[in-house]
Each structure stands twice: as structure tokens, then as C-alpha cells.
């Protein structure tokens, strides 16, 4: 049984703060500081360039990929870490299109994260072969899957509302129509049980700075299904994805299996932080995390709706159809969120009017939820958000 008191003690959170934004940036795990310090002082500081071999830096992307794989239902040797999520989206989509060369339509939805759409648009323009990016409403995805679709590119959990796609059902529908599937797990890896192998997903990508708590700008990961491992051609053929990087051949030969999805030199310091952050998951049941998250979110929804009727629920009411976040809408959502943050309740805002709150039972419990609602109710009832200072848009919202 997962001991959430133990996991809570493994995070460093400031006094007086209720942190409901782990869906955007996870808090600092206590072990990360020591691990990064040791990497810098003992490995880099003393071993210097020898650390690539003696400290295992070269094999980090695959080793840590396997640790993430256990959280997303991926077999050993099918996940690798490195680069950014946008790069991994590009890799997955490019490989998927080559695996389905006779089709020209990529299907996505308007709840997908914009960066995924930008990367797809850029890739399709570069290919210049008559490709089309077809964008539909999330609820219309299933009906839009037909024999024209080359690949579906979907984020499992909608970043704005928390709406949850049925990965297994949509993958089955896509495969039945002859399409390849790409899943973005940015808002589901570490938040809820994921089974990419059981769902028969072809590709999956995700970041590690949200629910995996690896820190701002932490490296991303990519999963390639075993049946595609030796056939998926890496469009970004970087030297770390070469079969023999230190042979320094002038011609590219893809590495074996998931190794070919490596691109550039791995960010070793960031990898050390991620490795330490993943220690939190030792002894944690994803099913129990999911149950606790739904319970906390349902408590939050009940209390907010009872006390703050100005706020309108933007997330699915049914917890089984929602990720680990809850969004409420208000015309002055940005100012309200700034007022909450000033009072120690940290969520975030997404244009045009969504206030997002994440529920991670690893460090949030019922007491924090109730205390947060007390603050929200006070800010709304007394219009404490109605302040010019809170209306000034920051660079990051």
C-alpha cells in the first residue's frame, strides 16, 4: 500500500504554500539537490571526461528510460530519454509517416498542446508532399478516424481541461483504419496508470518536469513499440543515434532499437536530477495514486462549486474521464489566479479564461485541498483579485 505520508516527506515545499501546479512543474524532490551536487562535485569535478564511462553518463538515456517505462507500461528497452518534448514529437511523427507512406492526413484535436501542432505543421511543410494536418474537436476524434488517416497525434490528457482520451479505444480504431498512433503523455505519465504496450500504441512521448518532478527544462522521453523498433527511421539522425557514435563514420547508420531515437549529447546534470526524482516512485502504486487523485479532485470540485458559484467547471465531472487536474473558468481568471498565488495557493492560468489546479497525492492531501478552497472562496467573495497589480500579464502565466 502506498504510504503518502512518506512520499510527502520526500518533497521540499516552502512553508505557507499549497502547491496545486504539479501538472505544470513538479516541486523539488529532496533527493535531487544532493544527487546533482554529487554529480557535479564527484563525477564531473573529479572524473572529468572519464565520467562518460566511469560514471555511466553514456548509458543514462536508456537506463533512465527503462525507469520511466515502468510507469507507462513500456517493456524494457523501448524508452529513451533526451532532448525536448517538441523534438520527440517531431521524431515520432516523422517516423510514423514513413511507416505509412501512401497516406497524407495527420489527425489531431484542438485540445492538443499547441507546440505539438506547431511541430507537426513545420514537419509537414518541410516534407512538402501534400500532407494535411486535420484538427477536430476532442469529442470528434473517433468519428474522424478513417482510411485516409496516416497517423493520429493526440495528447492523452487535455492540457486545458484535463479531459481524458481513451488511449486503448482510439488506438484500436486507428489501427482498424490502417493508421499509426502517437500519444503525448505529458499530462498523464506519473499522474495516472498508463499502459502503452497493452493499448498497442505505436509511439508515445512525454516530458519529465510535470508529474515526474525532474525540474524545469528536464529532458523528454520517447517510446517506440517493439514491432517498430528496427523499422522506424529517425528523421533527426544525430550522432548519439548512430550505430557506432565513436567510429565517426561520415554516413549515418541507425542504432539498434530505441537507441536510434537518441539525437544529441545527453544533458547529464539534468539526467541526474531526473534519476533522483524517479526514486520517489519506488514502492508507489499508480492505481492508488489515481484513486487518491480522483478523490482529492472531487472534494475540490464539490467545495468550490458550493462556495464559489461564479466559477464554472471546465473539466469533465466524471473523474474517470479526467486526468489529475481540474480547471474552472472565469472572465477574470488571470487576475484571480494571481491573487491566489499571492496568498500561497499556486495554480496557473491558460488563455482565454481557464484556471488550472493539479492534484498530486504524493504531496497534496485533503487538508491542503480544504485550505486552498478557503483561500479561493475569500478571494472570490471579497473580490481580492480586483487589483491592477493582478491584471498585469507576466511572461509565464
Give 308-316 contacts, CB < 8 A, sequence gap 24+. Answer: 308/373, 308/376, 308/377, 308/380, 308/381, 310/380, 311/355, 311/376, 311/380, 314/160, 314/161, 314/354, 315/161, 315/162, 315/163, 316/161, 316/162, 316/163, 316/164
Which residues are known catalytic residues?
Answer: 113, 184, 209-210, 356
SS3 assignment, position 153:
strand
Position 24 scores a pLDDT of: 97
pLDDT over 90 at 22, yes or no: yes
Predicted pLDDT at 5 = 94
For 265-311, what is each residue's pLDDT tens digit? 999 999 999 999 999 999 999 999 999 999 999 999 999 999 999 99
Inter-residue contact 214 to 73 (CB < 8 Å): no
Percent of the chain with pLDDT over 90: 99
* Separation of alpha carbons 266 and 342, rounded Å: 37
- Grid cell in block for residue 289: 495514486
Q: What is the pLDDT of residues 198-224, one digit of tens each?
A: 999 999 999 999 999 999 999 999 999
Confidence of residue 397 (pLDDT cuts 50, 70, 90): confident
Q: What is the pLDDT of residue 97?
A: 98
pTM of the model: 0.96
Asked if the model's pLDDT at residue 87 lies above 90, the reply is yes
Q: With 0-12 CB in 10 A as exposed, 13-18 as middle and 19+ as buried, what is 76?
A: exposed
Q: Using N-to-C axis directions, what is the helix angle for 333-342 and 366-381, rounded to 10°?
A: 120
pLDDT of 61 strictly over 90: yes
Note the pLDDT tens digit of each residue in 116-136: 999 999 999 999 999 999 999
The DSSP H or E segment spanning 274 is: helix 268-277
Write down the residue that cell numbers 489527425 correspond to.
Answer: 107
Amino acid at each position: 500500500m502506498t504510504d503518502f505520508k512518506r512520499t510527502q516527506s520526500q518533497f521540499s515545499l516552502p512553508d505557507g504554500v499549497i502547491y496545486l501546479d504539479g501538472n505544470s512543474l513538479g516541486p523539488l524532490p529532496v533527493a535531487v539537490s544532493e544527487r546533482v551536487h554529487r554529480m557535479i562535485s564527484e563525477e564531473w569535478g573529479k572524473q572529468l571526461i572519464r565520467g562518460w564511462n566511469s560514471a555511466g553518463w553514456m548509458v543514462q538515456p536508456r537506463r533512465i528510460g527503462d525507469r520511466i517505462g515502468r510507469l507507462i507500461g513500456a517493456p524494457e528497452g523501448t524508452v529513451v530519454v533526451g532532448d525536448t518534448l517538441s523534438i520527440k514529437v517531431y521524431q515520432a511523427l516523422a517516423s510514423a509517416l514513413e511507416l505509412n507512406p501512401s497516406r497524407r492526413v495527420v489527425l489531431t484535436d484542438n485540445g492538443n498542446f499547441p507546440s505539438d501542432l506547431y511541430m507537426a505543421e513545420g514537419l509537414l511543410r518541410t516534407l512538402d508532399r501534400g500532407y494535411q494536418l486535420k484538427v477536430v474537436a476532442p469529442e470528434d476524434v473517433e468519428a474522424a478516424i478513417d482510411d485516409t488517416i496516416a497517423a493520429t497525434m493526440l495528447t492523452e490528457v487535455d492540457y486545458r481541461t484535463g479531459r481524458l482520451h481513451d488511449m486503448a479505444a482510439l488506438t484500436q480504431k486507428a489501427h482498424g483504419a490502417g493508421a499509426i498512433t502517437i500519444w503525448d503523455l505529458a499530462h498523464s505519465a506519473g499522474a495516472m496508470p498508463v499502459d502503452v504496450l497493452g493499448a498497442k500504441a505505436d509511439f508515445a512521448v512525454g516530458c519529465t518536469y510535470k508529474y515526474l518532478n525532474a525540474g524545469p527544462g528536464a529532458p523528454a522521453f520517447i517510446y517506440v513499440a517493439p514491432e517498430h523498433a528496427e523499422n522506424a527511421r529517425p528523421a533527426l539522425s544525430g550522432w548519439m543515434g548512430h550505430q557506432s557514435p565513436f567510429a565517426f563514420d561520415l554516413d549515418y547508420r541507425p542504432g539498434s532499437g530505441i537507441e536510434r531515437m537518441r539525437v544529441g549529447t545527453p544533458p547529464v546534470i539534468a539526467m541526474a536530477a531526473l534519476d533522483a526524482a524517479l526514486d520517489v516512485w519506488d514502492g508507489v502504486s499508480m492505481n492508488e495514486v489515481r484513486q487518491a487523485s480522483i478523490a482529492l479532485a472531487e472534494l475540490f470540485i464539490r467545495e468550490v462549486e458550493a462556495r464559489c458559484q461564479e466559477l464554472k467547471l471546465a473539466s469533465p465531472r466524471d473523474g474517470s474521464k479526467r486526468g489529475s487536474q481540474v480547471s474552472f473558468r472565469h472572465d477574470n481568471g488571470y487576475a484571480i489566479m494571481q491573487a491566489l498565488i499571492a496568498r500561497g495557493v499556486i495554480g496557473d492560468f491558460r488563455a482565454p479564461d481557464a484556471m488550472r489546479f493539479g492534484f498530486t497525492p504524493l504531496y497534496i492531501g485533503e487538508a491542503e485541498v480544504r485550505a486552498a478552497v478557503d483561500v479561493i472562496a475569500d478571494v472570490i467573495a471579497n473580490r481580492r483579485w480586483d487589483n491592477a497589480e493582478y491584471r498585469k500579464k507576466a511572461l509565464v502565466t
